[in-house]
Chains A and B, each alone.
Chain A
């Protein structure tokens, strides 16, 4: 089937999409947007987190056809040109990135948190990021990054 979807503000079209395919597969393999990562394909790790109509979701659990005529925003759509989003900058500066596999999902999820709660408490940060797994950092630097981004917004 054909899927028409707005991705990062651009109208995109994917052809020959299998009806049982996920939005994550479409983004990575058909639209050339490998920012969203594929680690578990079962909603457990959060590395595929994208905005779907402004709500963060696991792209691996959205059927491609459900994204028809919707708006998707991926980690690739957060920066404006070469200017990183404050959340992305904070992740770099705080040393919250090691292998980087979890980073795109965490950045999108943290971005949404700060949009909704400009000055989150530590429990609010932990709660918001509870569905994003990181096997490298031990999370402390990630919490630092979110606090840093919050202080700058």
Chain B
């Protein structure tokens, strides 16, 4: 086995082109578990932690694939509230100090916590190889259970997101507050200026996915220009449509039926919180 230690992105892309079988390692919080348990024996590990380009975020926003969760929480909480909320629920402090969004995308687990947020907020994933750079909308990134749109010679370089244009919420069901893989999860983003809603489910289908019917229904119901308290019937219908967008399975963490139920509850509640934020903001302006 080889341990490859590029210092620059260009060098890393060169190495990945020569050794497409090399496994990238960022925070190692997925890769090292597989190594320690003999589940993976790659011919090489490609260490990404020395590459300064991947550890930076710039206004706009472009968040480098190697920015760990703790920095998203501390530095980007105001601009990316949804992503910061999801980041706060990942693992433990030690895991958040090390784990990265790039790693979450690389692993592409249906249960990964950042995925519903990236889908609901219209994120675009930047990937690169010696052949050039590709911009992949989050909606086209997840292809199957632990499969993503990355080619063998490509690396994930960044996630592009616009600073939140309205309230965002994330919610996750698990057996305790820390250290849980989501039984199921849900993210919502409101875009008041565009009369638009983003909604996506996690851990409730082979891939994380958006709930387009729920989004369209809610966008038609919400009066962004003149926000009034929401009818319970609207929240309920939204919850139902979110639940219907999922195709969960029974597994050790929960049954399909439970997941469907929990998604409807989370969708209703997070909508309530997000809408309240908008109402409160409106009052503050008046």
Contact = CB atoms under 8 A, between A and B. Distances in A.
Given A20-B1, A41-B36, A58 B98 contact: yes
B32 interface: yes
B33 A61 contact: yes
Interface string A2-46: 000000000000000011101000000000000000000111101
Contacts of B47: 63, 65-66
Interface stretch (B21-29, B222-230, B231-239): B21-29
Nearest to A64: B3
A56 B94 contact: yes
B1 A18 contact: yes
A20 to B, nearest CB: 5
Given A1-B3, A66-B28, A43 B91 contact: yes
Given A1-B3, A18-B1, A19-B2, A130 B35 contact: no
B1 A131 contact: no
A82 interface: no
Contacts, number: 91
Contacts of A41: 33, 36-37
Contacts of B91: 43, 131
Nearest to A21: B35
B103 to A, nearest CB: 11
A113 B47 CA distance: 28
B210 to A, nearest CB: 30
Given A20-B45, A61-B32, A131 B3 contact: no
B28 A61 contact: yes
B146 to A, nearest CB: 17
A41 B194 CA distance: 47
Q: A1, A41, A42, A131: which has the most chain B beta carbons within 10 Å?
A: A131
A22 B44 CA distance: 15
Contacts of B98: 55, 57-58, 61-62
A132 B92 CA distance: 8
Interface string B31-51: 111011100010011010100
A128 B98 CA distance: 15
Interface string B1-19: 1110100000000000000
Given A41-B37, A62-B28, A46 B94 contact: yes
Given A19-B3, A66-B47, A66-B49, A109 B94 contact: yes
Given A128-B93, A130-B179, 6 more contacts: A22-B35, A41-B37, A44-B179, A46-B94, A58-B29, A61-B28
Interface of B: 1-3, 5, 25, 27-29, 31-33, 35-37, 41, 44-45, 47, 49, 70, 91-95, 97-98, 177-179
20 contacts: A19-B1, A19-B3, A19-B45, A20-B1, A20-B35, A22-B35, A43-B94, A49-B94, A55-B97, A57-B98, A61-B98, A62-B32, A63-B3, A63-B35, A65-B5, A127-B178, A131-B91, A131-B94, A131-B179, A132-B92
